[in-house]
Chains A and B, each alone.
Chain A
């Protein structure tokens, strides 16, 4: 693990080029002139105090928001002006939300198929893939359960399985252990490790937890919308 924001060598999966995000309604500068690179297969943790701009950065990386200035390149292609951000989100990015956002009316097997509907996968392959992923997260025996019938840790694993539905190269996780007890948190982190090492996924994880950050290859510190050193972030 290092605490540098310098990119590793090689063609980056994501490049953030002098990006700022200013919210005009509150005149809040959430990010200011941020430049970063994320290599393919990298496991990166983003840390910083509340309100530092971590979530804003994650939303921009996930094509959920647009920068006020600067550009973000995904696989070399600029995101601004791209009319197919939905397609990028469906096929290239897997989101793991802090509060999971599973659809309460759908079973776990069905929840995992939701991104596959967006990607237009055939029905039979959707079910097959969803079962594979449930096995991957060790929830094969919970296929027919509703989210309300699962423990919080199990819900998180379903959310991770859903993020993997279309086999995206990039996984974005917002406080993935924030709502979990220590055991469930450890299980989720072990799963992330496996996805990184065995499946070669690029992981970008927002966290307050030093334990989570310790698992990452690189930690980016952010404070007041700027990339800073660890020491500056802690100051």
Chain B
């Protein structure tokens, strides 16, 4: 038998109280894993999308916090294309729509020119791709098509107009698989933003020497006033939506963990107060103060580890569930990184240590004789 065995058996001796505390912490860790995981995965998925679509730089109008409200004149795209070292320029107009009858409230609509390479890069599952001259035609991402129950030949209503579904596609990106692809000119008409795109993805010639990207970036920004060109990573990290999601995820998670820490502290205090005579007996039997304090810490950490393990599974399940739920299927990627799970576990352990501080201090101050005399 070791101290750890004693700590474990002590927890198991009061299964309901230990179980409820571990459950509380599991919910907190689950919230951390799910919320922070979703935020982190959103950021990663955005970055992956931008990079795989060949965007070393993202060009958009400066000064707007919300990307969708900004616009760049299409003439700028032509100018960027003519810059030396620029390999690829993809313009896109973006908007968000809802399909309330299907409980989908945030569906991305991408307006692509018929010659956009993105239309070729997605995997066609059914029907055809958009082409020059298409009017009132859309392609649906596979996830969205499933959620809406639409197939090629069906019609969907966008901006109070009916569109033909001409193709269904799949993509590595959850955002594209849950999106509507619309001819650029049609979306410009519907959004009343003629000759404008939300921004450009600019790919730089890979053979270019280091520092070349920075030079191109400065040249792009010189093309028009209020134009900003950011490396994709920086752009994604600074996206207002991502920052809000990240901040909210952390705030919510930290509040949950704080509650978890208070719960653990409460459990440990109750446990210690109930076992004052046990503590006194341990001290009388020669246990040093530091050993008893360590025992309290070990109990707390074991409780947290159980909560963290259960919470991680809960977080993984919740994220997977959200990624499969029709309402959020096109917005949440169900994959979680090990880093996020490790963060959840680490925070749980911190909560455990915080929760153990007060009972440990009580034990440290407790004289053996006083403890033995407690009723």
Contacts and interface: CB of A to CB of B under 8 A. Distances in A.
B200 to A, nearest CB: 67
A59 B369 contact: yes
B6 to A, nearest CB: 7
A89 B2 contact: no
A101 interface: yes
A110 interface: yes
A95 B3 contact: no
B286 A118 contact: yes
A123 B2 contact: yes
Contacts of B10: 103, 105
Interface in B278-303: 278, 280-289, 291
B2 A64 contact: no
B278 A101 contact: yes
Nearest to B9: A105
Contacts of B278: 101, 103-104
B195 interface: no
A113 B1 contact: yes
Interface string A32-61: 000000000000000000000000000100
Contacts of A86: 283, 286-289
Given A106-B1, A110-B1, A126-B1, A118 B6 contact: no
Contact of B369 (A64, A99, A113): A64
Contact of B3 (A87, A91, A117): A117
B373 to A, nearest CB: 10
Contact of A89 (B277, B286, B372): B286
B146 interface: no
B368 A118 contact: no
Contact of A91 (B1, B9, B286, B291): B286
A76 to B, nearest CB: 20
Interface string B3-42: 1011001101100000000000000000000000000000
A115 interface: yes
Instruction: Give me the 10 closest cross-chain CB pairs, A-B, nearest first.
Output: A90-B286, A105-B13, A101-B281, A118-B286, A89-B286, A105-B9, A115-B285, A86-B288, A110-B1, A118-B287
8 contacts: A90-B287, A93-B286, A101-B281, A104-B13, A106-B1, A110-B1, A110-B5, A117-B287
Given A93-B286, A110-B5, 5 more contacts: A89-B286, A101-B277, A110-B6, A114-B285, A118-B282
